[in-house]
Structure 1
Amino acid sequence: MTSFAFQLYSLHAVDDPLPTVVERVGETGFDGVELAGLGDADPEDVGDALERTGLELAGAHVGIEELEANAEAVAETYGALGCENVVVPWFEPEEFEDRASVEAAGARLTPSPRTSRSTTSLCTTTTTTRSSRTSTANRL
């Protein structure tokens, strides 16, 4: 388990390729990183950078649309990188306006039977206001 990881979204404005960014973080005192998606990076190149630096993958941000489109592929891609936690970083505030909206958002996060065998966890953290946070965890 990663003790001290760097959230790579903090560097989203950096123009360097993701493997290069991972290598730079590897030069610091961090034990791991949390990806903010893979962008156009080849997962194998990211895995190689993680291996070269000794960084662990603490988790990854993946949009709900990507999960809904192909949860198995998401679990396979991130699982191959050693990632055990996938985080849905954002839902629109409207998806938390009332009980029915929250239940519908929760249903979107409920794993299907075909993906329930995965060992990658799905976690969501959605900020609905500056002072309120909602979290849910499920298995993909």
Structure 2
Amino acid sequence: MQIAVQLYSLRNAGWSFSETIERVSAAGFSGVEFAGLPDEPPEQVENICSKNEVAAVSAHVPLSTIECEPTVIQEYQQLGVTEFVIPYLEPKAFDPDTFTVTMDRLAAANQQIEDAGGTLSYHNHEHELETIGTYTILERLLSETALSLQLDVGWATAAGCDPIELCNQYRNRLTSIHLKDVRLDETAPRGGTPVGLGEGDVALTDILQAVPVEQVIFEHDDPKDPAEALVDAGDWFRPM
């Protein structure tokens, strides 16, 4: 099992890319998932990662970027990235009058990534687990496209689902999980509030023991102190 950090978690830390990777390595992580291309040239990025024994495991790339800026895919590939993930689509993308268009766009993006030699996954939030008719949006999305799945267990829990059941259901489509903890709160806009690992209501240890996935990616959507959140997450993983 490789344990990585989604760099979105550290976006407000104010660190250079080099310092970020050094801190990620020092916290005990062996990989990063990009949420935007670094400013440094590819050779420098590779050197920084290699020196700190941190691999570039994947990248979150918006659907609109795949469609309108295809060279971004090549730039990530220069960093060694082959796993691409669509991080978010607004709920309105899955409205009945737009659903078919959205599926067509996702299918085209998937073919584009496949043609480039990569794999494309979809990263859920809570709204894709809403039921429309007899199926959830996620069920329809995965049945009508060939995308893989990066399951965010935190938002799945906030949606009232069992992440282990979802992992088993989509075992053949699952490329990685986002290990995120949330404190359940019916009054919160999305059913829960992101917190540090072990501070919320997600069955994190049970998930890791039950789910045979090679890539586990830590994410905290809005840490008050990114440096503390990173170290605490590394400490949480250390006994694993």
Give the number of the structure whose alpha-carbon radius of gyration is greater: 2
Which amino acid letter does the alignment assign opposite residue 76 of structure 1? Q
Deviations 1:13-44 (A, max 9, x none): 11112232122101222121111112544443
1:84 aligns with 2:82: yes
User: Does the 8 Å contact 1:19/1:45 carry over to 2?
Assistant: no
Q: CA RMSD in A?
A: 2.6
1:68 Cα deviation after fit: 1.0
Partner of 1:101: 98
Evaluate the alpha carbon distance shift between residue 115 and residue 60 of structure 1 in structure 2; reply closer, same or farther with a 3 A threshold: closer
Evaluate the alpha carbon distance shift between residue 79 and residue 39 of structure 1 in structure 2; reply closer, same or farther with a 3 A threshold: closer
Identical aligned residues as a percent: 27
1:77 Cα deviation after fit: 0.9
User: Does the 8 Å contact 1:17/1:41 carry over to 2?
Assistant: no
1:54 aligns with 2:53: yes
Evaluate the alpha carbon distance shift between residue 114 and residue 59 of structure 1 in structure 2; reply closer, same or farther with a 3 A threshold: closer
Any gaps of 5 or more consecutive residues in structure 2?
131-136, 149-240
1:95 Cα deviation after fit: 0.3
1:27 aligns with 2:22: no
User: Does the 8 Å contact 1:34/1:61 carry over to 2?
Assistant: yes
Partner of 2:125: 127
Evaluate the alpha carbon distance shift between residue 83 and residue 10 of structure 1 in structure 2; reply closer, same or farther with a 3 A threshold: same
1:95, 1:15 → 2: CA distance? 33
Partner of 1:11: 10
Which amino acid letter does the alignment assign opposite residue 79 of structure 1? Q
Which amino acid letter does the alignment assign opposite residue 103 of structure 2? G
2:45, 2:61 → 1: CA distance? 16
Which amino acid letter does the alignment assign opposite residue 123 of structure 1? S
Partner of 1:117: 115
User: Does the 8 Å contact 1:93/1:128 carry over to 2?
Assistant: no
1:19, 1:60 → 2: CA distance? 18
Q: Provide TM-score, normalisation by structure 2.
A: 0.49
User: Does the 8 Å contact 1:96/1:128 carry over to 2?
Assistant: no
